[in-house]
Structure formats: structure tokens, C-alpha cells
Structure 1
Amino acid sequence: MEETNVSLKLLIDTESQRVLFAEADKNFIDFLFHILALPVGTFIALLTKQGMVGSLGNIYESIENLNATYLQPNLNKETLLKPKVHISGGGAGVPLLLPNVESSSTSSKKWYRCSRTYHSACYSYVTNDSSAQCPSCSNYMNDNVDFVDPSSTTNAGSSSGEGGYVKGVVTYMVMDDLVVKPMSTISSITLLNRFNVKDVGALEEKVVDLGIDEGVKLLKTSLRSKNVLTDVFLPMLTVEIENVM
């Protein structure tokens, strides 16, 4: 993932003290969608065991404390405690808003087949370890194979090169509970009616910038709240106002 400036334009109802929705560009939407690609172990490591709701943190701590003697000889604890996010296609170019998230492209891995590729029974097996033995003939599987990323072939004739998950020519609307949809004037007016906003003068726009701290807060809050934008950003804006005064 690459570090990118990410910002949101919040529409705040100052009377009810809540964020009605936010205007966001491609960068923020890519970040939100990429959360779904994170392994559970990455979540726990980011939020710390003490900050986890429920008992998943205890599983993480159990693995940390378990003597390597009890693990399978080919298993490294780090595989479970610090899993890499395997990216294929869309994940490339996502803003770096979460710390210590290691990623590796599927296409950058090495893949191997049995050297007896002429044998149909051997040809059906593939591995990412050249020391593995073919289940069919027991020969070493050390014949290099090139991996083809579907996204690279699909976009081969495209000049876009945007990466990420969504297109950048669109402005997106992000609701307080992180529902995402394309932005439109009609949908904005409909939402104001739905939220029963009587005094348009009580609405205020605020632009907030997101860094790693805000990314982690947003991730943590999204696991326990239906009012994510309000819970994350209103306290921050209140502190800024108090500091100015």
C-alpha cells in the first residue's frame, strides 16, 4: 500500500451533534474496502489485545505464549501472529492508513510444478515451495511457473493505472454507519428529509484529514458502533475548537 493524503468533508448537524454523512473521494473508499481483506490476526495486532471486544485477543496471546515445541515443525508463529495481506489486483495502491500491515502481491510469489510436466497426473499439482515433493511421483516440484494476475491482463490495454477498488472520477457518500454509495444532489436532499433536519442553518461542513491514528480509530470503532464517523471525528473536532479558544 502507498501513503496518500486522505481527507473527508463531513456534514455535521450541530443541533443533534452527529455526522449526517461525508463526501469522500477514491482514496478513502479504497481504504474502507481494503479493511475486508485484512486477516483476523492483523486486526488483533492493530487494536492490541486489551482493546479487543470478546475473546479473540486471548487466542492471540495463547499463541504468543505457546512454546514452539508444541507447534508443527514447518509452522512459524509469525504466520499466525503477523499474517501478510495477500493482494491481487485491487489492493495495489490503497492508502497506507494502518501501521505494520505487511502486504505481498500474489503475482510476486514463486510457483512451482513437478519437473515431470509431461505426466498428466503430476501436471495438476502446484506449490509455492520448490522443496515440496509431487504427490504423484515424489519428484521435487522445482519447475518454475509464471503466475498470471487477472487484473493485469484485464487492464493491459487500459491507460487508467489507478489501482485500488473504485474509480476516481466519482465523489462518494459515506454514511455515519459506513454505508457507501455514489454522491448525488438528490440523495443528499433525501437524506436531510430522512434525518428530519428542520434548520439547514444548523448544518456545518468540516474537512478532516486522516492519518494512521485516525485509520486505527476508525477500524476499532467500526467493530462496535453504528455511528462510526460521529464517534471518531466529533471528539477530534471538539478538541481542536477548545485548543483554538
Structure 2
Amino acid sequence: MSNSKVSMKLLIDTQGKRVLFAEAGKDCVDFLFHILSLPVATVISLLKAQEMEGSLPNLYQSLENLNDTYILPHQKKDTYLKPMLPVSSSSFPLLALTDDGDDYDGDDCDDGDEFQKKFYRCANGCNFKYISDDPRAACPSCRQLFTKTVTYVAPPAVKVAAEVGGLVKGVVTYMVMDDLTIKPMSTISSITMLNKFNIKEVGALEEKVVTLGMDEAVKLLKASLQSKKVLTDVFF
């Protein structure tokens, strides 16, 4: 896991003993939305130490304890226990929810041209009108097998600025509600929220900056599955 951390600024109602909402930047919001892409097995693995409720941990433990003798030769338990994340970790360099990425040994893929898509044409060429990805195919014009290899040339990669990554744009500040509702923040939206919570004493409000590291990330994940007061339960 990356040692980098992200932070958010909480607005706390000290009288009501609750977090009203938080101000968060792009990096923090990217992390929160990243939770949605986590495979179930990854969530279970992260929450085992937190005594996750329900029966899914038993299912996970059963497969973890199952002897390899009972696993099909072409299958690996880690395919289910440690699934590859659907979103590239490079999109979220500031905070990753799992530190198992370095354990991947690359057995399932090799460098080189093995995975480059190959195409074929017939021996006659036929003006390259027909190509196929199967050398057993026959040319519709001359009926010759597609035995000549055609080299595929990819278009130039589009360069993206190094600082651009993740999901959301970084030109605005975001409001994160206690129940993890997220929306762009504005002065009007802040005032609206204070009226909604019926805040009479502005002096009772307190700002607090909190940092999200691995421990806080796991606590947030667990609370998000159990509570509608996630920020309050984790940070207050």
C-alpha cells in the first residue's frame, strides 16, 4: 500500500455530537468512490480483522482453508480470494485499500509478443482486402488460406498529464455528508445544510481536519456497510 494519505475537513456540531459534513478535495473523493469498485472478496479480506458481521467471512475462510487437492488444476484460489481490482491502482496513487499488489508474481502473463493480436492474409495478397485473426480462414476471392502474417500498428497513445488521474475533476471542493452523499460544494449549499440541520448556535460548530490512512480507510469501509452516520461513527 502507498504510504500517502488524504485528508478532509469536518464540520462538527459539538452540541448535537455529530459531523454535519466534510470538505474534501479530489484525492479524497476519488478514494471514496474507489470503494465502489472493490470486489466482495477484497472487502471481506480487509474487514476480517474488524470482525465483519454476517456469513460471507465464513465463505471466504472456507475457500482459504480448502486444500489445493480439491481445486481444479487450471484454477487458483487466489483468483477468488485476491481478485485483481477492476480499476488500475495507478488511478489512485494516494491511497490503495490493499497492500497485496506486490505479491502478484505475474504467472498469468508474460512480457513479449505472445499477447499481441495477430492477423493474417492470403498468400496472394488480394490487395489486402481481406484479413483474419484465424490462419485457418480462406480468402473469399482466391480461396487461399490466410497464411501470411500481417503486423498490426497501434495508433499513437494519447498523452495525459501526470497529475490527471482518478475519477473526478480537481477544480472544485466537494461536500461529503455524514452518510457519504457527495456533491460539489458551494457557499449556498453550506448555508442550506446548516438550515437543514437547524443550527442556531454558530459557536457550537467546530472544524477538524482528519487524515485517512489505512486504519481509517478500513473503518470507513466497515461503517459504510453498517451505518448512515459514517463520518460521525469513525471520527467523532
Asked if Structure 1 and Structure 2 have the same fold, meaning a TM-score greater than 0.5 normalized by the shorter chain, the answer is: yes
Correspondent of 1:165 among 159, 164, 167: 167
Which letter does structure 2 place at the counterpart of 1:30?
A: D
Equivalent in the alignment of 2:7: 7
SS of residue matched to 1:75 = coil
Which letter does structure 2 place at the counterpart of 1:27?
A: D
Any unmatched runs of 5+ in structure 2? Answer: 122-130, 136-149
What TM-score do you get using the length of structure 2 for normalisation? 0.75
The Cα of 1:7 is off from its aligned counterpart by: 1.2
Higher relative contact order (CA 8 A, sep 6+): 2
Equivalent in the alignment of 1:21: 21
The Cα of 1:24 is off from its aligned counterpart by: 0.5
Rg larger in 1 or in 2? Answer: 2
Deviations 1:166-221 (A, max 9, x none): 12221110000001111100000001111111111111111112211111111111
The Cα of 1:5 is off from its aligned counterpart by: 3.1
When residues 231 and 212 of structure 1 are mapped into structure 2, their CA distance, relative to the original with a 3 A threshold, is same
Correspondent of 2:227 among 221, 225, 238: 225
178-187 vs 159-168, greater mean Cα deviation: 159-168
Instruction: Tell me the C-alpha RMSD between the 2 structures.
Output: 3.1
What TM-score do you get using the length of structure 1 for normalisation? 0.73
The Cα of 1:114 is off from its aligned counterpart by: 7.2
Matched, 1:78 2:41: no
Deviations 1:135-181 (A, max 9, x none): xxxxxxxx998999xxx63xx3x546321111222111000000111
When residues 164 and 144 of structure 1 are mapped into structure 2, their CA distance, relative to the original with a 3 A threshold, is farther
Hey, what's the Cα distance between the residues in 1 that align with 2:110 and 2:225?
32
Matched, 1:95 2:57: no
Percent sequence identity is 55
Hey, what's the Cα distance between the residues in 2 that align with 1:109 and 1:174?
42
The Cα of 1:121 is off from its aligned counterpart by: 6.6
The Cα of 1:50 is off from its aligned counterpart by: 6.5
Paired residues, number: 206
Which letter does structure 1 place at the counterpart of 2:203?
A: G
Structure with greater helix percent: 1
SS of residue matched to 2:91 = coil
